Amino acid sequence: MRVAVVHGPNLRLLGRREPEVYGHTTLEEIEHRLHALGRELSVEVESFQSNSEGALIDFVESAASRVDGFVVNGGALTHTSIALRDCLVGVDLPFVEVHLSNTAARERFRRRSYLSSVAGGVVYGFGPQSYLLGLRGLVALVEKNG
Ligand code: DQA
């Protein structure tokens, strides 16, 4: 099994970005943990971060031919991007939406997600663990779908 982890805008700033909300763990450290979990689960993990909506969509479209599903932290695009949603629906692969913070407990504009209703599952609020739980959830989804 091979999966891709997609990080949206501003997630490269993790570690120094609003640490009271997102903690002190860097994206590099999260990547490291994801790869370690991937090895434990015998899953190949690749990842991609961009601040650009178009680049994220291009990545999902091209990765779709080589992966079995996606773990997606769309960052702020979660709340705005119909295009990212349409792309994830269009490639017709399972995906799990993840967020470090509990977006339901923050500003009102973060309560709407264009991704949740088409995701296989969602994980909010566990900090870096959200990604790891999301990866485990995705692997279960892919295995269930055969
Ligand atoms: C986030 C939550 C989003 O609302 C925000 O725009 C982010 C990070 C999270 O992981 O908690 O960039 O996706």
pLDDT tens digit string along 8-30? 999 999 999 999 999 999 999 99
Distance CA 36, CA 57 (A): 26
Rounded CA-CA distance 89/110 in Å is 21
The length of the chain is: 146
| Overall pTM > 0.85 | yes
Residue whose Cα lies nearest atom 2 of ligand 1: it is 75
Band (pLDDT 50/70/90 cuts) for residue 70 is: very high
Residue nearest atom 7 in ligand 1 by C-alpha distance: 75
- CB of 110 sitting under 6 A from ligand 1: yes
pLDDT digits (tens, 9 = 90+) for 76-121: 999 999 999 999 999 999 999 999 999 999 999 999 999 999 999 9
Confidence band (pLDDT; 50, 70, 90) for 146?
Answer: confident
> How far is residue 74's CA from residue 90's CA, in Å, rounded to a whole number?
16
Catalytic residue among 7, 22, 114, 124: 22
Question: Does the pLDDT at position 145 exceed 90?
Answer: no
Q: Which of 35, 79, 99, 114 is catalytic?
A: 99
- Report the nearest-CA residue for atom 10 of ligand 1: 99
33-58 average pLDDT score: 98
CA of 48 to the centre of ligand 1 (A): 16
DSSP code at position 128: T
- Per the prediction, the chain carries an average pLDDT of 97
Contact predicate 74/97, CB 8 Å? yes
Q: Are the beta carbons of 113 and 78 closer than 8 angstroms?
A: yes
User: What is the residue whose two structure tokens read 């692997």?
Assistant: 139
- What share of the chain has pLDDT > 90, as a percent? 99
